[in-house]
């Protein structure tokens, strides 16, 4: 939050004829508005991990800016979604812009790296991919954006990228250093609640006709006892679902996420979890309306 300046425009002399518009102190009117920047790896990560926070911050009058490291070129497109001659990266740019609109964010800014693909894939060696990026240069690109948009709060990922995707790990590294370079102290690591995932997998496990994600639950996200903040965003799950649907090249109607019964979807996506770098053993997350700094 920016410091509140004196409300000159409330003083009676400010309302004299013809002078009121000139005297109006616009900066004081904007004093409660902060800029939230979300740094993500691929289009669709924003909706899944931080869509609720984005809606909440935007509805509260804050500026919401999404920076995406890559265009997600290595995703697996759903059958029939690509137009003739269209690449997956091009399609995902359009999808992300649509999702940003739904979530109350400005049009996305790309850091212009290529998707590295899952760990161990030959695409990890692509010199243009984010994993192979000159980290110093990537930090410079992001910190310039952070300064340009006057960021107050930045979200990145936890140090293992939630589930180990190279681009997500790189978001952590680059994001943390860029925040330091830009002088931003309100930095939060978006994570998943490992305990909640375990329970959910057990409940969902028995159901048929559902694509089950292949994941190693024991290393996913963060144990609840180490998480710093919980942002409750259950009231925004409808918009979050719409934003996920906007990513139609990736999230088909029969996907694990969208097949969830409504109550289950709300449990899975109505809460968003954030760590503070280097802070663990918190005894469980503190529930906040918005992240401190907003
Ligand atoms: Zn991703």
Q: How far is the CA of 203 from the centre of ligand 1 (A)?
A: 25
Q: What is the mean pLDDT of residues 269-280?
A: 96
Q: Give residue 41 CA to ligand 1 midpoint distance, Å.
A: 5
pLDDT at 273: 98
Instruction: State yes or no: pLDDT of 69 exceeds 60.
Output: yes
pLDDT band at 19 (very low <50, low <70, confident <90, very high): very low
Which position has the higher pLDDT, 160 or 208? Answer: 160
Per-residue pLDDT averaged across 105-110, rounded?
A: 98
Query: Does pLDDT of 5 surpass 70?
Result: no
Residue 211: pLDDT band (50, 70, 90) is: low
Q: What are 246's two structure tokens?
A: 């906007």
Which residues lie below 8 Å from residue 257, measured CB to CB, with a gap of 6+?
Answer: 48, 244, 251, 265, 268, 269
How far is 141 from 171, CA to CA, in rounded Å? 12
- At residue 210, the pLDDT reads 55
Question: What local confidence, expressed as pLDDT, does residue 3 receive?
Answer: 43
pLDDT score recorded for residue 94: 98
First CA to last CA distance, the chain: 5
State in Å: Cα 239 to ligand 1 middle.
Answer: 20
Q: State which fold the 32-287 domain adopts.
A: Rossmann fold (3.40.50)
Could you tell me the distance, in angstroms and rounded to a whole number, from the CA of residue 198 to the centre of ligand 1? 21
Give 209's strand partners: none
Q: Sorting pLDDT into bands at 50, 70 and 90, what band is 32?
A: confident
pTM score of the predicted model = 0.87
CA 269 to chain centre: 13
CA of 43 to the centre of ligand 1 (A): 7
Mean pLDDT score across all residues of the chain: 89
- Closest by CA to 154, choosing from 112, 127, 182, 126, is 182
For residue 70, give Cα distances in angstroms to 23, 76, 117, 120, 162: 44, 15, 11, 18, 17
Cα 14 to ligand 1 centre (Å): 51
């Amino acid at each position: 939050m920016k410091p509140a300046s004196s409300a000159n425009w409330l003083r009676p002399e400010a309302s004299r004829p013809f002078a009121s518009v000139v005297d109006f102190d616009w900066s004081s009117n904007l004093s409660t508005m902060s800029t939230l920047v979300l740094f993500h790896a691929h289009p669709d990560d924003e909706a899944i991990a931080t869509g609720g926070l984005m809606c909440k911050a935007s509805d509260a009058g804050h500026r919401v800016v999404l920076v995406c490291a890559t265009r997600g070129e290595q995703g697996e497109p759903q059958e029939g979604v690509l137009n003739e001659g269209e690449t997956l990266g091009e399609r995902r740019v359009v999808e992300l812009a649509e999702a940003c609109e739904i979530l109350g964010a400005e049009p996305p800014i790309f850091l212009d790296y290529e998707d590295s693909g899952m760990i161990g894939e030959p695409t990890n060696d692509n010199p243009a991919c984010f994993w192979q990026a000159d980290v110093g240069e990537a930090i410079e690109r992001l910190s310039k954006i952070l300064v340009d948009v006057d960021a107050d709060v930045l979200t990145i990922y936890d140090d293992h990228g939630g589930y180990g995707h190279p681009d997500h790990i790189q978001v952590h590294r680059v994001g943390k250093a860029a925040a330091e370079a830009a002088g931003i102290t309100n930095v939060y690591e978006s994570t998943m609640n490992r305990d909640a995932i375990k329970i959910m997998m057990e409940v969902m496990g028995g159901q048929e006709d559902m694509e089950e994600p292949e994941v190693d639950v024991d290393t996913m996200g963060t144990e609840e006892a180490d998480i710093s903040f919980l942002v409750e965003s259950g009231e925004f799950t409808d918009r979050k679902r719409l934003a996920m649907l906007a990513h139609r090249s990736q999230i088909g109607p029969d996907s694990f996420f969208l097949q969830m019964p409504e109550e289950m979807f709300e449990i899975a996506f109505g809460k968003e979890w954030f760590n503070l770098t280097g802070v663990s053993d918190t005894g469980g997350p503190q529930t906040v309306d918005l992240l401190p700094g907003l």
